[in-house]
């Protein structure tokens, strides 16, 4: 039987000892990491709760904005239809006035009627909920 060289036994012993030391260091690092995670867990839970609270708040704001957008759209539609009616009235007044004795007063009358209709539609829009 052949004998194992001495240098091989020494080299094996060195690597075996290094392996034991590195394994002990790895176990120590894992234990320390677990301790740090235990200490940071309440902070993470607090941050998670805060993020959920902010998310709920943002959802509420989004719902409010959606409702406000619908209300504004209804108001704009109402004012637009009122202005369309005023424009038709002005157009009919202008066509009738251009032929009659009120021809020179037609632009002023049309402007006053338009302003009146606009004020009336804004008041109506403010009264609506």
- Contact present, 67 and 94 (Cβ < 8 Å): no
Confidence of residue 17 (pLDDT cuts 50, 70, 90): very high
**Does a structural domain hold residue 65?**
yes
The length of the chain is 129
Give me the mean pLDDT over the 19-24 stretch: 97
Count structural domains, the chain: 1
pLDDT at 61 over 80: yes
Tokens read off for 27: 């176990």
**Does a structural domain hold residue 17?**
yes
Indicate the angle between helix axes 6-97 and 106-127, nearest 10 degrees: 130
**Does a structural domain hold residue 85?**
yes
This prediction has a pTM of 0.39
DSSP assignment, residue 104? G
């Amino acid at each position: 039987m052949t004998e194992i060289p001495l240098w091989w036994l020494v080299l094996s012993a060195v690597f075996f000892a290094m392996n034991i030391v590195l394994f002990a260091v790895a176990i120590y690092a894992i234990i320390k990491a677990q301790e740090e995670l235990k200490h940071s867990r309440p902070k993470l839970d607090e941050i998670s709760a805060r993020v959920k609270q902010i998310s709920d708040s943002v959802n509420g704001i989004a719902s409010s904005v959606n409702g406000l957008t619908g209300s504004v759209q209804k108001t704009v539609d109402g004012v637009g239809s009122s202005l369309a009616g005023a424009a038709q009235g002005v157009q009919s007044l202008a066509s009738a006035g251009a032929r009659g004795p009120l021809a020179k007063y037609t632009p002023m009358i049309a402007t006053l009627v338009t302003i009146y209709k606009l004020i009336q539609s804004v008041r109506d829009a403010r009264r609506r909920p």
